[in-house]
């Protein structure tokens, strides 16, 4: 049986190693290129991923690692790594960036760590054992919908889905107090887990974007599904709704309406 406490420690060490690289290069990005329109990568992304992989190979040898930039192996159990979530923010000097490390077994996150190097915060969750920021145990918010602020992200990689997304955006803007778009899914989910945001919805993300943060939300008392309400397929499709239970119901209603014939 896998030692989840040891894996959480390994994930935290790895995320901090990646975060040290990101911090050292903040404001001095090199070798920047565009992978696709609006989707950037820099030497900081690549070096952070190397640091994360190196730390995991020492602390958890033999477990495959799949990273956003270098790919890798996928197995029944393995690591999913986003070495610099929010690269566009990083390049523009906006400090909302994260390093995300998750251990996933058969599509279910077991351990999740999100480190926000520019903010000095590290969020850690272990399945069945709660979510924490340092010693603080996290809980999702209890605000009523009229006072809620939901986080979101635009489907810039899949502009063909813009119409579906905008139907939900428009309805959510009418129903809730306000919306936010910070530009780093791992931190949007972390902020939802600690009650800063009252929910989060986005389309077409990578599994490395959401695996760790989604576990934070569920371990903080929230609900995570895809836009049809499936509580497993969100990791495969990247279509995600994460929120406290009552808020999740409302977001799911809006999302289901957007995909109805």
- Tell whether the torsion through CA atoms of 250, 165, 92 and 13 is positive or negative: positive
Say yes or no: 71 and 126 in one domain. yes
**CA neighbor of 208 nearest in space, from 114, 96, 106, 81:** 81
Q: What is the mean pLDDT of the chain?
A: 94
Q: What is the pLDDT of residue 260?
A: 55
On the question of pLDDT at 88 being above 80, the answer is yes
Q: Which CATH number belongs to the domain containing residue 124 in this structure?
A: 3.30.540.10
On the question of pLDDT at 222 being above 80, the answer is yes
- Taking residues 22-49, what's their average pLDDT? 83
Say yes or no: 167 and 219 in one domain. yes
The DSSP line for 75-139 is: -SEEEEEEEEE-HHHHHTT----EEEEEEEETTEEEEEEEEETTTTEEEEEETTS-EEETTEEP-
On the question of pLDDT at 261 being above 60, the answer is no
Say yes or no: 120 and 200 in one domain. no
Domain boundary among the residues 137, 160, 185 is at: 137
Say yes or no: 8 and 133 in one domain. yes
Say yes or no: 221 and 250 in one domain. yes
Q: Report the Cα 194 to chain-centroid distance in Å.
A: 14
Say yes or no: 105 and 191 in one domain. no
Judged by average pLDDT, the poorest of 38-42, 142-146, 209-213 is 38-42
Going by pLDDT thresholds of 50, 70 and 90, the confidence category of residue 116 is: very high
Give me the helix-helix angle, 185-193 and 207-219, nearest 10°.
0
Say yes or no: 133 and 150 in one domain. no
Q: What is the pLDDT of residues 57-78, one digit of tens each?
A: 999 999 999 999 888 888 899 9
Say yes or no: 41 and 116 in one domain. yes
On the question of pLDDT at 26 being above 90, the answer is yes
Q: Which CATH number belongs to the domain containing residue 162 in this structure?
A: 3.40.190.80
Number of domains, the chain: 2
The DSSP line for 216-252 is: HHHHTT-EEE-TTS-SSTHHHH--EEEE-HHHHHHHH
Say yes or no: 130 and 171 in one domain. no
pTM: 0.95
- Taking residues 217-243, what's their average pLDDT? 97
Q: Higher pLDDT residue, 213 or 160?
A: 213
Say yes or no: 119 and 150 in one domain. no
Q: Which helix (H) or strand (E) holds 201?
A: strand 200-202
Domain boundary among the residues 105, 137, 169 is at: 137
On the question of pLDDT at 256 being above 70, the answer is yes
**What residues make up the domain containing 162?**
145-259
Domain boundary among the residues 137, 166, 183 is at: 137
Say yes or no: 127 and 15 in one domain. yes
| Strand, helix or coil for residue 146 | helix
- Taking residues 39-51, what's their average pLDDT? 89
On the question of pLDDT at 9 being above 70, the answer is yes
Say yes or no: 64 and 122 in one domain. yes
């Amino acid at each position: 049986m896998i030692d989840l406490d040891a894996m959480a420690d390994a994930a935290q060490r790895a995320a901090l190693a990646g975060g040290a690289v990101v911090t050292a290069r903040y404001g001095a990005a090199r070798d920047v290129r565009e992978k696709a329109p609006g989707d950037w990568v820099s030497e900081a992304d690549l070096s952070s991923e190397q640091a994360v992989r190196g730390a995991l190979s020492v602390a958890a040898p033999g477990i495959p690692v799949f990273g956003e930039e270098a790919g890798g192996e996928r197995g029944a159990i393995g690591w999913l790594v986003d070495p610099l979530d929010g690269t566009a923010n990083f390049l523009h000097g906006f400090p909302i960036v994260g390093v995300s490390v998750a251990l996933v077994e058969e599509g279910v996150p077991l351990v999740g760590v999100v480190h926000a190097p520019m903010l000095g915060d590290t969020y850690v969750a272990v399945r069945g054992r709660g979510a924490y920021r340092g010693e603080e145990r996290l809980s999702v918010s209890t605000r009523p919908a009229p006072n809620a602020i939901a986080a979101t992200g635009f489907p810039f990689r899949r502009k063909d889905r813009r119409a579906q997304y905008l139907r939900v955006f428009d309805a959510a803007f009418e129903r809730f107090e306000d919306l936010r778009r910070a530009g780093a899914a791992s931190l949007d989910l972390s902020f939802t887990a600690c009650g800063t945001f009252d929910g989060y919805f986005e389309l077409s993300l990578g599994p490395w974007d959401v695996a760790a943060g989604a576990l934070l939300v569920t371990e903080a008392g929230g609900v995570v599904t895809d836009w049809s309400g499936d509580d497993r397929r969100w990791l495969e499709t990247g279509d995600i709704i994460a929120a406290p239970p009552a808020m999740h119901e409302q977001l799911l209603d809006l999302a289901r309406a957007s995909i109805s014939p």
